[in-house]
Every structure is written in structure tokens, then in C-alpha cells.
Amino acid sequence: MNETTTESYFITKLSEAKTHFERALDCKHTKFDDLYPYMIEHPQFFWYKRYVAWSELLTIVEVCSDLSVSWEEHFSNQQVDYIKHKVMSSKVLDYWFETKEVVS
């Protein structure tokens, strides 16, 4: 596998992880729902689903960083900041889609 193929692969995986996280934020169907259909009835399910998607996104970003694959250009400045802080806070949940910078 050459360097271009590897980078393309990880950018695809990054895009998929971002989409998965964003669908989890919006409470839309994800592959996680198919794995645990019985969990949908539990109130903590949506929080857990978001946590799993966030962990997946952070893992892909870490691998991209380790391989020197540029990932930041695929996110807004504020999303990059959230990812670099790694903690999925209420600010991340509330402002992930915001186009204006959030004041701390």
C-alpha cells in the first residue's frame, strides 16, 4: 500500500467517524443502533451512543496524527479545539454545528 492510498483510506475513515458522531448528536440512526436494538428503550442509550461515536472520532484523529495525515482541515476551528481537548462536554454537544466561534 502506498502513502497516497493510506492517506486516502484514513481520510475516508475520518469522514465516516465524523458523520457517525454527527448522526449520534442528532439522535439519528447509526450502525450502533443495529448492534444494540434493545438499548433504544433505555434513557442513557443516547448518551452512550454519543460517547461511542466521540471515542471513535478521537481514535481516528489520533491515528491520523500518528501517521502525519492532515485531519484538521475537515473540521471547523472550534471543532478542532473540541477534538484537541478530547473531553465531550455539554459545549461540544450544544455547539458542534455552530458556525460562529463560541465564547468560553
The whole-angstrom separation of Cα 38 and Cα 1 is: 40
User: Phi-psi bin for 68: left (phi > 0), alpha (psi -120 to 50), beta?
Assistant: left
The model carries a pTM of: 0.85
49 SS3 class: helix
Q: Would you say 10 and 57 are in contact if contact means Cβ atoms under 8 Å apart?
A: no
The whole-angstrom separation of Cα 37 and Cα 95 is: 28
Per-residue pLDDT of the chain (104 residues; tens, 9 = 90+): 577 788 999 999 999 999 999 999 998 888 877 877 777 777 788 888 899 999 999 999 999 999 999 999 999 999 999 999 999 888 898 999 987 666 55
The whole-angstrom separation of Cα 51 and Cα 57 is: 10
